[in-house]
Chain A
Amino acid sequence: DVVLTQTPPTLSATIGQSVSISCRSSQSLLHSNGNTYLHWLLQRPGQSPQLLIYLVSRLESGVPNRFSGSGSGTDFTLKISGVEAEDLGVYYCVQGTHAPMYTFGAGTKLELK
């Protein structure tokens, strides 16, 4: 089974600071069709998860462009360029390359310092 390892588990940031979250997969997430089904979700306190970035680097509609995603194969990164208060919550990476079994990272909690 695919395992996604997210680091760090907790991130403390000040408003305006840039931060990065890593997601490493135990297997390549490059699908035979050429796509890499690695996505990033944000779960704000008391809310359901919402899609931020899909297919590694594509910004979901309505998501601010301070969010960006990068990576390939087994190593992926989510970057927030200038944290804002509304960005607080838990970030998850999720893989769909090996669907129908989806795998989630353990989450990274972004807190205010």
Chain B
Amino acid sequence: EVQLVESGGVLVQPGRSMKLSCAASGFTFSSFPMAWVRQAPTKGLEWVATISTSGGSTYYRDSVKGRFTISRDNAKSTLYLQMDSLRSEDTATYYCTTVFYWGQGVMVTVSS
């Protein structure tokens, strides 16, 4: 059974940092590009970042470029999202996904 389990979400002040993790199992993690997708409260789905199978290539939406870093550890079947200089507009549920498979999501609240 495919499982994607996110962790790391919490309440954080604007300007601070947070790192999300996603533990994958049930499929060959190293064979899939991985992505983070977020959903602000009552809003739709929004792509945040993608990483290639090797981790050598990364892509970001404009609003998070320079602040967020996606990475992966294929030996541990784990995906990460380092989020720096957080803003209130980053408040959302963050999903780890291959687009076909989805985690349960982790809530990130940026507020003073």
Interface residues in B, total, Cβ within 8 A: 21
Question: Complex Cα distance A88/B73, Å?
Answer: 37
Q: Is B33 in contact with chain A by the CB < 8 A criterion?
A: yes
Q: Is A92 in contact with chain B by the CB < 8 A criterion?
A: yes
Known: A99-B33, A99-B50, A106-B44. A48 touches B103 (CB 8 A): yes
Total A-B residue pairs with C-beta atoms closer than 8 Å?
53
Minimum CB distance partner of B57 in chain A: A100
Given the complex, which residues of B lie within 8 Å of A107, measured CB to CB?
A: 44-45
Question: Complex Cα distance A51/B46, Å?
Answer: 16
Interface residues in A, total, Cβ within 8 A: 22
Minimum CB distance partner of B59 in chain A: A100
Minimum CB distance partner of A47 in chain B: B104
CB proximity of B68 to chain A, nearest CB, Å: 14
* Contact partner, A94, options B50, B61, B99, Cβ 8 Å: B99
B47 touches A104 (CB 8 A): yes
Known: A102-B35, A102-B37. A48 touches B47 (CB 8 A): no
B104 touches A48 (CB 8 A): yes
Question: Complex Cα distance A105/B47, Å?
Answer: 11
Given the complex, which residues of B lie within 8 Å of A41, measured CB to CB?
A: 45
Q: Which residues of A contact B (CB under 8 A)?
A: 39, 41, 43, 48-51, 54, 60, 90, 92, 94, 96, 99-107
| 8 residue pairs from A and B, CB less than 8 Å apart | A48-B102, A51-B101, A92-B45, A96-B99, A100-B35, A101-B61, A105-B44, A106-B44
